[in-house]
Amino acid sequence: LGCIAVVYRKTYCPSQDSWQACVSFVVGRGPQEEELIQALALAVQEPQRKLFTLLTWDDTLAKIHELGNPKAKKPDDAPMFYQVTEPAKLLLDAGEGIPCDPMAKILKFQL
């Protein structure tokens, strides 16, 4: 079953004179809900939805495997703080899950 995080990054709070982020995790429990999640994912990726970011588990794993190998040569345009993916890659290679703290850092890195 799939899980996506839809992030609304630009909510203006006038009382604090700042922008706030709102993270929503959407999890499907069956095929019908998965179809709805896919529709939501497509809607969020539309150009007029610039305030949203879509993160999927598959995209997160791809980013970990792409940037997480400490021995691999990193491209010159590697994003800042890509190092947070390295411990996650080691855990995944060992067949373990990623604990909450490193996963939170990875999600923040992707935003």
Per-residue pLDDT of the chain (111 residues; tens, 9 = 90+): 455 655 555 666 777 777 677 777 788 788 888 888 888 888 887 777 677 788 888 889 999 998 888 777 777 777 888 889 999 999 999 999 999 899 889 988 888
pTM across the whole model: 0.69
- Spatial neighbors of 47 by CB under 8 A, at least 6 apart, are none
Beta strands in 14-97 (DSSP E): 18-27, 52-56
Task: Identify the helix (H) or strand (E) that includes residue 81.
Answer: none
52-56 and 18-27 as β-strands: parallel, antiparallel, unpaired? Answer: unpaired
Contact 57, 37 (CB under 8 A): no
